[in-house]
Homo-oligomer: A and B are copies of this chain.
Amino acid sequence: MIPSQMLKGILEGCVLGVISLRETYGYEISQTLAQYGLGNITEGTIYPLLLRLEKNKLVTARYLESAQGPKRKYYALTPAGQQEFTQFQESFDALSGAVQQLFSACAVQQKQQGEDL
């Protein structure tokens, strides 16, 4: 399981990514994230996040009927949202690269300590 603290700031970018795949709604986004292995994102997380994105004009929303259950609120990226997602990708790649480099240094160090025994 990915710790919830580790998701901070990353989840928002991932949600933008999921929406970029196609117009979708909160409940489905939560399931899609789980499929990608990003953990079980609950309603208390996803809906405030979506309202925040909408308020910040990164996504637009419209209600559509559903064959089963209540109306769904479908989200789509705005140009600003697309730009924000591109920037998130760059930031995450930078972060990921830096952390991987640190991990490599730690692995080397551990190997040396093992050889010293």
User: Interface residues, chain A, CB within 8 Å of chain B?
Assistant: 1-10, 14, 17-18, 20-22, 36-38, 85, 89, 91-92, 94-103, 105-106, 109-110
Question: Which one of B8, B22, B36 lies within 8 Å of A98 (CB-CB)?
Answer: B36
- In contact, A102 and B36 (Cβ under 8 angstroms): yes
- In contact, B6 and A102 (Cβ under 8 angstroms): no
- Could you show 24 A-B contacts with beta carbons less than 8 Å apart? A2-B95, A3-B91, A6-B8, A6-B9, A6-B91, A7-B9, A8-B8, A8-B9, A10-B95, A14-B99, A17-B102, A17-B105, A18-B102, A20-B106, A20-B109, A21-B105, A21-B109, A36-B98, A37-B97, A38-B99, A38-B102, A85-B106, A92-B103, A96-B99
